[in-house]
């Protein structure tokens, strides 16, 4: 029970565990150490990100060359999925639904929150661990079976879920068994998120080091705190909705099924009286805050990396914090902008497009703060900084292209087209994922004690940056041409044939991006063995995680850290060093000999 | 069908209400471009001007940047204008000003996996009753054969004929799952929700052969759930109606083609 009762005497806990070696399975498998759990989450998520991307690379063959047999993989995947080597439409839909689900729920969120949140947050607040280490372990061990169950659905009769990651009923209710497995996995994954989120809130509120007031917290911690509240409040409705849909599928209920459905000429034998739109409300009540669950930790990471590499305090730190808190609140009242085309009343749609315009303001403020943080800096362009810098214009494209979708009149034309795909991928792929890469390169030395290779890192960045824009930029033009999303064969339509050449460009971009990630994978593993060894603070950073050894042992800090100042005190005038860490007292000098303010 | 009209930007607009939507899309993109290029130039300049180099140090004190406040305020003003000056009036006008019954042609549309069924009222201007319980292979709309109003109804599958310069009110519903009624050149889109009948309208400004696409994933045949939209001159439309009117005394369903049309490949 020591793990759950140490709030208030963290130091003692650190000593309890620091001095005896745990057996392998306690240290690396059923670990209660937030850093190990963070690494477990991060590695699992990276594997799923690559897997989810592979699904998309297969779909890109069908989109670039509709109806042509796929080389190599066409034969490997069996006659049901790929009759004669040509992708079947139902398999295409499975790949699409699973790509979305995996990238969001098994990839980005677990990496941003489960991985970075777990690893970095306690270190940045000077805590020896999370408030509830066993709950933390439980969170991962509910998550992983959920993931495995999700992937296993490919082997179910009729294949995996194939009704989109949104799983709109009635389609999802009449879909094959894979959908049942999808729902069960979602219940597990959501449960895991809930366990994690409550733990984050308690940890950040209760376990900050001495002197670490809210206005001294690194921006990343603020972002994680808001994210945890979003997870806590937004996920339960989807968990409930998943159970309701499960009942519709298995127990003959009709929460989402209206009366009088006729499927393939047969009357559907259900009670009826339900509403398909109810699901959409419950789903998007989660899934819009979910967008901010994806983006807020990413913004937090960008802030850390930008402050560190511009060698100056963040511009508008408090403004940034107010903005993310406001974003968090507003994200609960914009969900129905995903549903403008469902025939809602004009009062409702006017309300939701107004809230949608309001939520764009804090995003503009955040971007302004990031750009102004560059002004007056002394910018080091290392790999983390390259990714963090690229985040800014990429997220800007994603944000700006949200405007025509958030306004009802322009949404009439653009809704459910490739424009939407371009828009949210700019937010999530070259936006969030680039920030996550920045985070990986930035905190890798802390997690492993070694630096990743800079040359490979820069190759990884530049090639990814080029490829990813070849993927998502053409999608805006396809969307403008009116091309619907989720089409197995876009050339069925004349307006699709007009932009088919772009599909070939996009596909080559995607395969190129896939290849480039091999550079990252090689760098990631190679650096574990042969990366340059680093001391506690290789980036000359100011926040608390850099006070701990690299890698930190169980219990994190050798001495209990005390915080003396704001998080980003870089280039303070009159100091010999261009950084004044939070954890170094004025009297002991600012890490440099002879410099006194 | 003229393929040349489709390129990498908006296809031509052949509707009465569409011009304002196009105008909004165009204003929005100029606004987005201006913001992006403006900030982009400043961003790139910052990266160059403030790069680390020997002898250069960072500025500790935050710059007083009133310009950012003015730009943010300008963004707010533009967004308010976009919202209440452009988008909302266009949306409200389109949603609230459904043409009067007498002037408009009414069509009932029932979507199904993976076809579009159209029902026209015929000469008497009245639709026959329909009932989901009567739906069968020969009667995809479930039209009640006993109802005299339905005797002259015209039905078609995946062929959507409408007259030019006439307001058309379509009542959209679905038999099975959610589809979405989408005619890009007419700037209309509406999800078809099973259990609901949703009216929308448009008025075409020129004749031609266009396409209706399903915009909402509806199953394995979603990609081929396509219908031809034929905007006819009033004479051609009358001729089509006369040719397809059911012969008297026969149940109207006999005129309907197969429920499951062959997958339409170009």
Tell me, what's the pLDDT at B130? 82
Tell me, what's the pLDDT at A435? 98
Contacts of A29 (CB under 8 A, 6+ apart): none
Task: Give dist(CA B89, CA B92) in Å, integer.
Answer: 5
- β-bridge mates for residue B106, sequence order: B169
pLDDT score of A36 more than 60: yes
A41-71: b (≥16 Cβ within 10 Å) or e: bbebbbebbbbbbebbbbbbbbbbbbeeebe
pLDDT score of A263 more than 50: yes
pLDDT score of A468 more than 90: yes
Cβ–Cβ < 8 Å for A98, A160? yes
Interval B184-207 mean pLDDT: 95
Interval A324-345 mean pLDDT: 95
Q: In chain B, what residues touch A494 (CB-CB under 8 Å)? A: 1, 3, 6, 211
> A291-333 pLDDT, tens per residue?
999 999 999 999 999 999 999 999 999 999 999 999 999 999 9
Name the residue among A312, A371, A489 with its Cβ closest to that of B60: A312
Task: Give dist(CA B160, CA B115) in Å, integer.
Answer: 12
Torsion angle, alpha carbons of A107, B217, A479, A464, to 10: 20
Name which of A428, A215, A434, A438 is nearest A305 in CA terms.
A438
Chain A CB within 8 Å of residue B17 CB: no
Cβ–Cβ < 8 Å for A385, A309? yes
> A92-141 pLDDT, tens per residue?
999 999 999 999 999 999 999 999 999 999 999 999 999 999 999 999 99
pLDDT score of B137 more than 80: no
Tell me, what's the pLDDT at A19? 52
CB atoms within 10 A of CB B209: 12
Helix (H, G, I), strand (E, B) or coil at A77: coil
Tell me, what's the pLDDT at A589? 45
Interval A365-376 mean pLDDT: 96
pLDDT score of A8 more than 80: no
Task: Give dist(CA B219, CA A159) in Å, integer.
Answer: 13
pLDDT score of A57 more than 80: yes
Task: Give dist(CA A282, CA A167) in Å, integer.
Answer: 12
Query: What tokens does B236 get?
Result: 């051609």
CB atoms within 10 A of CB A168: 21
- β-bridge mates for residue A440, sequence order: none
Interval A71-96 mean pLDDT: 92
The more confident residue out of A587 and A394 is: A394
- Percent of all residues in chain B with a pLDDT value above 70, rounded to a whole number: 93
Helix (H, G, I), strand (E, B) or coil at A65: coil
**Cα separation values, A474 from A460, B84, B120, Å:** 22, 30, 40
pLDDT score of B262 more than 60: no
Chain A CB within 8 Å of residue B133 CB: yes
The more confident residue out of A590 and A545 is: A545
- Where residue A588 falls among pLDDT bands split at 50, 70, 90? very low
Task: Quote the minimal CA–CA distance from A118 to chain B in Å.
Answer: 31
Residue to mutate among B216, B253, B258, B266, with most A CBs inside 10 A, is B216
The answer to whether A162 contacts B95, with C-beta atoms less than 8 Å apart, is no
The answer to whether B215 contacts A415, with C-beta atoms less than 8 Å apart, is yes
pLDDT score of A474 more than 70: yes
- Percent of all residues in chain A with a pLDDT value above 70, rounded to a whole number: 95
Task: Give dist(CA A197, CA A3) in Å, integer.
Answer: 17
- Where residue A430 falls among pLDDT bands split at 50, 70, 90? very high
Chain A CB within 8 Å of residue B138 CB: no
pLDDT score of A479 more than 80: yes
- Where residue B249 falls among pLDDT bands split at 50, 70, 90? low
Give φ, ψ of A506 to 5 degrees: -60, -45
Interval B155-167 mean pLDDT: 95
Tell me, what's the pLDDT at B150? 84
- Percent of all residues in chain A with a pLDDT value above 90, rounded to a whole number: 88
- Which helix (H) or strand (E) element contains residue B228? strand B226-232
pLDDT score of A89 more than 50: yes
Tell me, what's the pLDDT at A525? 97
CB pairs under 8 A between A and B: 304
Residue A197, phi-psi category: left (phi > 0), alpha (psi -120 to 50), beta (remainder): alpha
Interval B125-149 mean pLDDT: 82
**Cα separation values, B83 from A71, A92, A295, A397, Å:** 49, 38, 25, 20
pLDDT score of A12 more than 80: no
ipTM of predicted complex: 0.91
Task: Give dist(CA B211, CA B160) in Å, integer.
Answer: 9
E-strand spans in B71-221?
105-112, 115-120, 154-157, 159-163, 167-174, 179-183, 188-192, 198-203, 208-214
Tell me, what's the pLDDT at B9? 93
Angle between helices A276-310 and A383-400 (to 10 degrees): 140
pLDDT score of B58 more than 70: yes
List, as ranges, residues 485-524 from A with C-beta within 8 Å of B: 485-495, 497-499, 502
- Where residue B144 falls among pLDDT bands split at 50, 70, 90? confident
- Where residue B258 falls among pLDDT bands split at 50, 70, 90? very low
| Average pLDDT in chain A | 92
Tell me, what's the pLDDT at A587? 52
Chain B CB within 8 Å of residue A384 CB: no
Residue to mutate among A162, A347, A482, A506, with most B CBs inside 10 A, is A482
pLDDT score of A61 more than 90: yes
The more confident residue out of B149 and A176 is: A176
Name the residue among B24, B136, B218 with its Cβ closest to that of A409: B24
Tell me, what's the pLDDT at B146? 84
pTM confidence score: 0.93
The distance between the two most distant Cα atoms of chain A, rounded to a whole number of Å, is 86
- Which helix (H) or strand (E) element contains residue B230? strand B226-232
Chain A CB within 8 Å of residue B193 CB: yes
Task: Give dist(CA A378, CA B264) in Å, integer.
Answer: 61
pLDDT score of A378 more than 60: yes
Q: Find where tokens 């955040």 sit.
A: A366
The answer to whether A264 contacts B113, with C-beta atoms less than 8 Å apart, is yes
Chain A CB within 8 Å of residue B87 CB: yes
Query: What tokens does B172 get?
Result: 């959209």
Tell me, what's the pLDDT at B140? 81
The answer to whether A342 contacts B35, with C-beta atoms less than 8 Å apart, is no
pLDDT score of A21 more than 80: no
Query: What tokens does B214 get?
Result: 């399903």
CB atoms within 10 A of CB A532: 13
Name the residue among A90, A268, A484 with its Cβ closest to that of B215: A484
User: Is the sign of the CA dihedral B143, B144, B145, B151 positive or negative?
Assistant: negative
Q: Search chain B and give the residue with CA nearest A503.
A: B8
β-strands B167-174, A266-267 pairing: unpaired
Interval B63-76 mean pLDDT: 90
Written in H, E and C, the secondary structure of A141-196 is HHHHHHHHHHHHHHHCCCCECCCCCCCCCCCCCCCCCHHHHHHHHHHHHHHHHHHH
Contacts of B69 (CB under 8 A, 6+ apart): none
Interval A203-225 mean pLDDT: 97
pLDDT score of B156 more than 90: yes
**Cα separation values, B72 from A366, B77, B78, B87, Å:** 11, 9, 10, 21
């Amino acid at each position: 029970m020591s793990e759950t009762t140490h709030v208030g005497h963290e130091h003692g806990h650190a000593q309890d565990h620091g001095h005896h070696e745990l057996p392998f399975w306690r240290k690396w498998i059923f670990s209660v150490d937030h850093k190990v759990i963070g690494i477990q989450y991060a590695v699992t998520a990276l594997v799923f990100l690559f897997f989810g991307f592979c699904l998309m690379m297969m779909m890109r063959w069908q989109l670039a060359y509709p109806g042509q047999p796929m080389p190599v993989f066409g034969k490997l995947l069996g006659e049901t999925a790929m009759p004669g080597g040509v992708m079947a439409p139902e398999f295409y839909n499975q790949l699409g639904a699973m790509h979305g689900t995996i990238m969001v729920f098994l990839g980005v969120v677990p990496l941003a929150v489960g991985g970075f949140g777990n690893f970095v947050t306690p270190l940045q607040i000077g805590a020896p661990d999370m408030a509830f280490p066993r709950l933390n372990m439980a969170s991962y061990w509910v998550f992983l079976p959920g993931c495995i169950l999700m992937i296993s659905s490919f082997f179910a009769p009729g294949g995996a879920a194939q009704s989109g990651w949104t799983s709109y009923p009635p389609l999802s209710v009449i879909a094959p068994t894979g959908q049942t497995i999808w729902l069960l996995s979602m219940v597990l994954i959501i449960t895991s998120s809930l366990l994690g989120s409550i733990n984050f809130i308690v940890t950040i509120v209760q376990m900050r080091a001495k002197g670490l007031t809210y206005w001294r917290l690194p921006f990343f911690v603020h972002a994680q705190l808001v994210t945890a509240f979003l997870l806590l409040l937004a996920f339960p409705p989807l968990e409930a909705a998943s159970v309701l849909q499960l009942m519709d599928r298995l127990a003959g209920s009709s929460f989402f099924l209206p009366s009088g459905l006729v499927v393939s000429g047969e009357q559907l034998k259900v009670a009826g009286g339900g509403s398909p739109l109810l699901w959409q409300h419950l789903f998007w009540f989660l899934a819009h805050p979910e967008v901010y669950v994806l983006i807020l930790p990413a913004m937090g990471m960008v802030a850390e990396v930008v402050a560190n590499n511009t060698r100056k305090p963040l511009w508008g730190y408090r403004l940034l914090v107010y903005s993310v808190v406001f974003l968090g609140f507003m994200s609960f009242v914009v969900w129905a902008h995903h549903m403008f085309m469902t025939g809602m009343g004009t009062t409702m749609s006017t309300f939701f497009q107004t809230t949608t315009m309001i939520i764009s303001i804090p995003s503009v403020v955040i971007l302004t703060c990031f750009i102004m943080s560059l002004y007056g800096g002394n910018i080091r362009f290392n790999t983390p900084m390259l990714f963090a810098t690229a985040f800014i214009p990429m997220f800007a494209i994603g944000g700006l292209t949200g405007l025509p979708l958030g306004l009802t009149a322009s949404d009439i034309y653009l809704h459910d087209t490739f424009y939407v795909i371009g828009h949210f991928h700019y937010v999530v792929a070259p936006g969030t994922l680039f920030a996550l890469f920045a985070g990986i390169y930035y905190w890798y030395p802390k997690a492993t004690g070694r630096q990743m290779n800079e040359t490979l890192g820069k190759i990884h960045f530049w090639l990814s940056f080029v490829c990813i824009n070849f993927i998502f930029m053409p999608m805006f033009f396809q969307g403008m041409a009116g091309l619907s999303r989720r089409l197995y064969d876009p050339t069925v339509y004349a307006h699709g044939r007009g932009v088919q050449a772009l599909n070939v460009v996009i596909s080559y971009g995607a395969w190129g991006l896939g290849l480039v990630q091999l550079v990252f994978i090689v760098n990631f593993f190679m650096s574990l063995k042969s990366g340059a060894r680093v001391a506690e603070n290789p980036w000359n950073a100011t926040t608390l995680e850099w006070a701990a050894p690299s890698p930190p042992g169980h219990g994190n800090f050798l001495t209990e850290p005390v915080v003396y100042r704001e998080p980003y005190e870089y280039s303070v005038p009159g100091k010999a060093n261009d950084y004044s860490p939070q954890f170094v007292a004025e009297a002991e000098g600012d890490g440099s000999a002879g410099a006194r303010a | 069908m003229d393929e040349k009209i489709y390129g990498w930007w908006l296809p031509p607009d052949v509707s009465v209400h569409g011009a304002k939507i196009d105008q909004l899309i165009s204003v929005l993109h100029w606004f987005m471009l201006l913001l992006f290029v403006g900030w982009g130039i400043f961003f790139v300049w910052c990266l160059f001007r403030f790069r680390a180099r020997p002898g250069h140090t960072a500025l500790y004190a935050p710059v007083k940047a009133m310009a950012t406040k003015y730009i943010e305020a300008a963004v707010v003003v533009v967004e308010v204008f976009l919202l209440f000056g452009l988008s909302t009036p266009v949306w409200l006008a389109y949603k609230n000003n459904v043409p009067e019954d007498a002037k408009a042609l009414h069509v009932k549309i029932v979507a199904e996996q993976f076809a579009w069924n159209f029902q026209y009222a015929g000469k008497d201007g009245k639709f026959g009753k329909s009932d989901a319980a009567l739906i069968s292979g020969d009667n995809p709309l479930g039209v009640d054969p006993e109802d005299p109003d339905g005797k002259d109804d015209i039905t078609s599958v995946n062929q959507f004929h409408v007259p030019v310069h006439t307001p058309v009110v379509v009542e959209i519903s679905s038999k099975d799952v959610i589809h979405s009624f989408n005619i890009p050149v007419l700037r209309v889109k509406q999800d078809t929700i099973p259990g609901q009948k949703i009216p929308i309208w448009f008025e075409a400004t020129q004749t031609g052969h266009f396409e209706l696409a399903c915009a909402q994933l509806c199953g394995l045949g979603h990609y081929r759930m396509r219908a031809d939209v034929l905007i006819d001159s009033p004479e051609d439309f009358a001729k089509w109606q006369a040719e397809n009117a059911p012969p008297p005394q026969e149940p109207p369903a006999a005129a309907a083609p197969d429920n499951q049309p062959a997958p339409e490949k170009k």
